[in-house]
Amino acid sequence: MSDLPNRISIKEEGPREGFQIESAAIPTERKVALIDALSGTGLRKIQIVSFVNPRRVPGMADADDVVRTFRKAEGVDYYALWLNLQGFERALVHRARLAVRGTLQTCASEAFLRRNQNRNLAQNEAYQRHVADAYRNAGVPVDRGSVMAAFGCNFEGDIAPATVLRMVDLIFAVAAENAFQIDEIALADTMGWATPRSIKRVVGAVRDRYPDARINLHLHDTRGMGIANAYAGLEMGVDSFDASVAGLGGCPFAAHPGASGNVCTEDLVFMCEEMGIETGVDLGALIEAAHLARDIVGHSLPGHLMQGGKLSALRQARKAVAGG
Amino acid sequence: MSDLPNRISIKEEGPREGFQIESAAIPTERKVALIDALSGTGLRKIQIVSFVNPRRVPGMADADDVVRTFRKAEGVDYYALWLNLQGFERALVHRARLAVRGTLQTCASEAFLRRNQNRNLAQNEAYQRHVADAYRNAGVPVDRGSVMAAFGCNFEGDIAPATVLRMVDLIFAVAAENAFQIDEIALADTMGWATPRSIKRVVGAVRDRYPDARINLHLHDTRGMGIANAYAGLEMGVDSFDASVAGLGGCPFAAHPGASGNVCTEDLVFMCEEMGIETGVDLGALIEAAHLARDIVGHSLPGHLMQGGKLSALRQARKAVAGG
């Protein structure tokens, strides 16, 4: 019936996605408290900051302090995001505490690329080659390629799978020139255009051309399709997902109308574990971290499990009644 | 790859689900305004009230007035819910304005049945036969059976598909005794226990035994699985869903922590239409109705499309730019 994986890997992006978007100044130690809580949940990959222009993203002005002060847990890799070489240089300073790995970044929508990074497709291709040189010179492993706006774009409309494939081709071409071993291709639904059907279509197209590439999905929940899209990915055998605790990064309600958060980590973990797919994550600890995230930002967040609760507690109560 | 239907039928339950749960007294004319707005969206089935004890459900105390005053639209069937023969008698009064049809109601969890309706399984079986007599005597068609808690229960835990099948067997047995033609079996995830896997398992079990029965899914979004579960249903060929505009009936946030709304109608319509499955619903008109619903209840509601917006507007804007 389908090709569900036995186990998935989740990269938690809540601290970066969330604190980047919040308008209120959140004290550094509160951000660190959330990262430390997440470190105890079983998550093995946590993206904690972005090194971006603090004038454009004031919430990330204390990124260096966050990286300096969180408690590094055994077996957990901590990541930073950057969009250009200035950001990369800032990340390199923290090489002892961060997993500094390079990603070749492409975008299936030229219109979005222009708006977001002020580059056209040709300029971005040249820039990725330039970045590849910098990574190689710094001795930084490059094992990942990403395609933004892989399922549609507010400024360009629908995206053809062939366009996504051209971006994946570019990633593998630049990787080959540099003898990089690409382990994962991330397909991002940056603006919440995907449905289960387009997930299957695009993942299928990439898989057909690159059967050995591991595919990662980065799914924004703008239109409520996040979990359904993740399920469609699982059915295609996708076993790597980005997610945000409590749905941090989006608050479709009071604080940030229309903001598009990443799919919620604990909702994703719940779905997988209930379907027999291992995540390695302790759902109870993750729900506690989600409540902490809500306390820190001071407003409701989109996650459901933090309200609905896990089923194992109800199953236990039932057993206790039956036993007594 | 899957067995997606070409077209689905949606029963809108927002007015009933929503106004039943709201703590604030909502004026009758505001309820009617929402029903009238929904009548213009293309939805063909709208459940507008429940005839229940006004001391237990104060929000439905004006049910008779609502039924008397909404504007009946051509081609739309309006439904009421009732849980016992007193409620049925109240509905019968409005036979000219309501589609009064009987449902044989079962529950896969005896614990929930006891709590919710103060009957055990044997008592409910007897009661359904009693109700069937009343329907037959009143000349009311009985074309539907329902199974509450078909995917799990807060008080009984996991529910085996075999238990659901016993309830479906009972429905068909009572129907056969009364020469009722059952057109639809509704499987309700009353407490939000379902995942795509259990949807497929239970729907598959019912389909195997009753290949000709149309299956309807009533999916609560307590744990954020509603849309993914609907997608799993679509993949099994299910083409009948209940849904609530704006996710009315649940507000996981400020007003009603933990409340479990039905899956959101406009989010469901969006997913289907984007995947090429016809719903007959005008998404723009439905989103306007969702905004009206939010204004009426006076707090945020869980729907996503009402925040994220439809894609057709973005596609149009893109075409206009390209054309100009």
- pLDDT tens, residue by residue, B222-240: 999 999 999 999 999 999 9
Beta-carbon contacts of A282 under 8 Å, excluding residues fewer than 6 positions away, are A41, A42
pLDDT for B68: 98
Query: Using CA atoms, how far apart are residues A305 and A267, in angstroms rounded to an integer?
Result: 6
Determine the average pLDDT of the residues in B297-310. Answer: 90
Query: Using CA atoms, how far apart are residues A65 and B18, in angstroms rounded to an integer?
Result: 47
Helix residue ranges, H only, chain B:
14-21, 28-39, 63-69, 85-92, 110-117, 121-138, 161-178, 196-209, 226-235, 265-274, 283-297, 305-308, 311-323
Short-list B21, B27, B61, CA closest to B302: B21
pLDDT for B57: 87
pLDDT at residue B118 tops 80: yes
pLDDT for B188: 96
pLDDT for A15: 94
Q: Using CA coordinates, name the residue in chain B closest to A301.
A: B253
Q: What is the pLDDT of residues A74-118, one digit of tens each?
A: 999 999 999 899 999 999 999 999 999 999 999 999 999 999 889
Q: In this structure, what token pair is assigned to residue A10?
A: 């989740």
pLDDT for A147: 98
Query: Using CA atoms, how far apart are residues A206 and A152, in angstroms rounded to an integer?
Result: 16
pLDDT for B256: 41
Q: Are strands B77-82 and B45-51 parallel, antiparallel or unpaired?
A: parallel
| A63: phi then psi, degrees, rounded to nearest 5 | -55, -40
pLDDT at residue B40 tops 80: yes
What does the mean pLDDT of chain A come to? Answer: 93
B300 pLDDT band, cuts 50/70/90, is confident
Determine the average pLDDT of the residues in A271-300. Answer: 96
Q: In this structure, what token pair is assigned to residue B323?
A: 């054309």
pLDDT for A17: 87
**Is B202 strand, coil or helix?**
helix
CB A263 within 8 A of CB A243: yes
Comparing CB atoms, the residue among A196, A270, A300 nearest residue B253 is A300
B5 pLDDT band, cuts 50/70/90, is very high
Q: In this structure, what token pair is assigned to residue B17?
A: 């689900």
A253/B257 CB distance under 8 A = no
pLDDT at residue B259 tops 80: no
Tell me the residue type at A123: Q
B252 pLDDT band, cuts 50/70/90, is very low
B198 CB neighbours in chain A (<8 A) are: 274
| A79: phi then psi, degrees, rounded to nearest 5 | -120, 155
Catalytic (active site) residue A153? no
pLDDT at residue A60 tops 50: yes
Determine the average pLDDT of the residues in A191-213. Answer: 97
Tell me the residue type at A252: P
pLDDT for B257: 46
Comparing CB atoms, the residue among A260, A304, A314 nearest residue B154 is A314
Query: Using CA atoms, how far apart are residues B308 and B295, in angstroms rounded to an integer?
Result: 17
pLDDT at residue A251 tops 50: no
pLDDT for A255: 39
Determine the average pLDDT of the residues in A168-190. Answer: 97
Determine the average pLDDT of the residues in A212-226. Answer: 95
Q: What is the CA radius of gyration of chain A?
A: 19
CB A13 within 8 A of CB A249: yes
User: Which domains can be identified in chain A, with CATH numbers?
Assistant: 9-323 (3.20.20.70)
Q: Using CA coordinates, name the residue in chain B closest to A199.
A: B275
Residue with tokens 């899209």: A229
Comparing CB atoms, the residue among B254, B257, B308 nearest residue A192 is B308
**Is A313 strand, coil or helix?**
helix
B314 CB neighbours in chain A (<8 A) are: 154, 157
Query: Using CA atoms, how far apart are residues A313 and A270, in angstroms rounded to an integer?
Result: 13
